[in-house]
Amino acid sequence: MSLLDKKIVDLHELLHKKEITATDLVDESFKRINEVDGKIKAFLTLDEENARNKAKELDGKVEENPLFAIPAGIKDNIITKDLRTTCASKMLEDFNPIYDATVMEKLNDANAITIGKLNMDEFAMGSTSETSAFQTTRNPWDLDAVPGGSSGGSAAAVASGQLPFALGTDTGGSIRQPAAFCGVVGLKPTYGRVSRYGVVAFASSLDQVGPITRTVEDNALVLQNIAGLDPRDSTTVNQDVPDFLSGLTGDIKGLKIAVPKEYLGEGVSEASRQSVLDALKVLEGLGATWEEVSLPHSKYGVSTYYLVTSSEASANLARFDGVRYGYSTPNPKNLMDLYKKSRSEGFGDEVKRRIMLGTYALSAGFYDAYYKKAQQARTLIKQDFDEVFAKYDVVIGPTTPRPAYKVGEVIDDLLTMYAGDLLTIPVNLAGLPGISVPCGFTEGLPLGLQIIGKHFDERTIYRVAYAYEQAAGFHTKKPQL
């Protein structure tokens, strides 16, 4: 059994007893990377020299923070000082930041050890990690399948045992969907719970950083460390960060669960639907009750999401102009030629597609018909959740309509790829927290159970997720590479 198969709290205890060292953990991580990442292709950049140097500094020391000396992987749209940050795009291929994102400062304060940067869909735009400019990450459960996206590298690295935890970002399901596809635990926090300072923006009103781990307890530990108010990010909320771990008791007696009929209807495979019904039986056995409800405006989620995100992306990506930083075309004829060629050569097809859609939706004569209408639909989607949460503690459904796609299966079928996020998108539009935990398998591929909570109530969804995880035991299964 690899050291990295153990939970973070168990590794911390071994470090505390001085039965292992920080160097042992870093050695184990790089050993596993050398063994399997040639097949998985989760990492874009490794930081081996700095990781080993930091481990040597920490050897012999012990700190109370459970993340002390724990190896970590970071999605490549999170800024890391002096460590290449590419967003998996040719546009930022040689970008070496001069500062750290807030979440990186918090991990560094905890003395976690950064192993490297992880592959993703370019600028987080995609659902399969196939839009990366550099490589296609593979699913550890089936190397012919995708790991999901856009945080596919983060989920695949954790699932394949290369790291105990990784950070991802979630704009419309980009933590939860790959977590479901790879059979791990992924949490999208409440919008405003975690700072976005130093995270390369895709859609600023939806993006959130969150943890991907093998267990619910590990996930809660990581969120405990990265959450909180940040004066450099005006969208963070001045809410106390509760003790998420104290709620992991396994007791959910009296919990009221809402199950939207739209989440088990058209477009959801029978395997995904049945896995949720089986999970609900487990939760009933633990003392919870559930009822079917309706979220009638969720059917507008996908179209609303793509209008809002594309509009925000077109504005956010305007800064990549070939002048200040990033890719710049050689020998342009004039300034306009510099702009055109730098952007057309630096961005991939999916990014260009969304920039054009967003620019169109924001343009004079179309703003009211598209962007404004999408924001109105977004409000209705949030109101649906508000009504349900007035009576119920959590909302539960499948994380994805089906298990992981084969590589190349949907990358050219855009409507199918976009519809794959139909169950995760409403959570981002409403700013709610949501977690995906493993809940079964079909044809050898994992399925995910999505648990959605009230604003800033991650503690309850962790409590439910932990109770289910301990009763069902799917988190103990690992892919055989």
- Which are the catalytic amino acids? 75, 150, 174
Q: How far apart are CA 401 and CA 410, in angstroms?
A: 14
User: Which residues are CB-contacts of 399 (< 8 A; sequence separation ≥ 6)?
Assistant: 173, 176, 177, 179, 180, 423, 424, 436, 447, 448, 449, 450
